[in-house]
Structure 1
Amino acid sequence: MLKEVCVENFAMIPEKIAKGAGRIELCDNLSAGGTTVSHGVALKAIEYCHSKDIKVMSMVRPRGGKFIYSIEEIEIMKHDLLHLKQLGTDGVVFGCLDHTGWIDEAAMAALLELAEGVEITFHMAFDQIKPGKQLDAIDWLVKQGVHRILTHGGPLDFGIEHHLSRLKEFIDYAAGRIIILPGGGITRNNLLSITTVLNVSEVHGTRIVD
Structure 2
Amino acid sequence: MSRPLEICAASLPSALAAQAGGAQRIELCQNLEQGGTTPSYGLIKAVRARLHIPVMVLIRPRPGGFVYSADELALMQTDIEICRDLGCAGVVLGVLTEAGRVDVAACRALIAAAGPLEVTFHRAFDACPDQLGALEAIIALGCQRVLTSGGQPTAEAGQDRLAALVAQAAGRVRIMPGAGITAANVQALAARTGAPELHASAKRLVPAEASAGLFTTPQFETDAALVAELVALLNQ
> Superposition RMSD on alpha carbons, in Å?
1.2
Work out which of the residue numbers 137, 146, 150 in structure 2 matches 1:140.
Answer: 137
The separation in 2 between residues aligned to 1:104 and 1:160, in whole angstroms, is 24
Counterpart amino acid of 1:144? Answer: L
> Could you tell me which residue of structure 1 aligns to residue 208 of structure 2?
none
The separation in 1 between residues aligned to 2:155 and 2:73, in whole angstroms, is 30
How many pairs does the alignment contain? 203
> Structure 1 unaligned runs (5+)?
none
The separation in 1 between residues aligned to 2:155 and 2:187, in whole angstroms, is 13
Q: Deviation at 1:103?
A: 1.1
Matched, 1:171 2:138: no
Structure ID, larger Rg: 2
The separation in 2 between residues aligned to 1:102 and 1:40, in whole angstroms, is 33
> Could you tell me which residue of structure 2 aligns to residue 8 of structure 1?
10
Work out which of the residue numbers 35, 40, 43 in structure 1 matches 2:42.
Answer: 40
The separation in 2 between residues aligned to 1:59 and 1:3, in whole angstroms, is 17
Q: Deviation at 1:200?
A: 2.3
> Structure 2 unaligned runs (5+)?
203-225, 230-236
Counterpart amino acid of 1:143? Answer: A
Q: Deviation at 1:31?
A: 1.1
The separation in 2 between residues aligned to 1:197 and 1:104, in whole angstroms, is 30
The separation in 2 between residues aligned to 1:33 and 1:64, in whole angstroms, is 7
Q: Deviation at 1:186?
A: 0.5
TM-score (norm. length: structure 1): 0.93
The separation in 2 between residues aligned to 1:74 and 1:38, in whole angstroms, is 17
Q: Spell out, residue by residue over 1:78-106, the C-alpha distance to the aligned partner (whole angstroms, 9 max, x if none).
A: 00010111001100000000101111122
Q: Which has the higher contact order (CA 8 A, sep 6+)?
A: 2
The separation in 2 between residues aligned to 1:45 and 1:61, in whole angstroms, is 18
> Could you tell me which residue of structure 1 aligns to residue 125 of structure 2?
126
Q: Spell out, residue by residue over 1:128-181, the C-alpha distance to the aligned partner (whole angstroms, 9 max, x if none).
A: 011xx211211111111110000011231xx32221110001000000000000
Contact 2:5 2:24 in 1 (8 A): yes
Q: Deviation at 1:122?
A: 0.2
The separation in 1 between residues aligned to 2:164 and 2:140, in whole angstroms, is 19
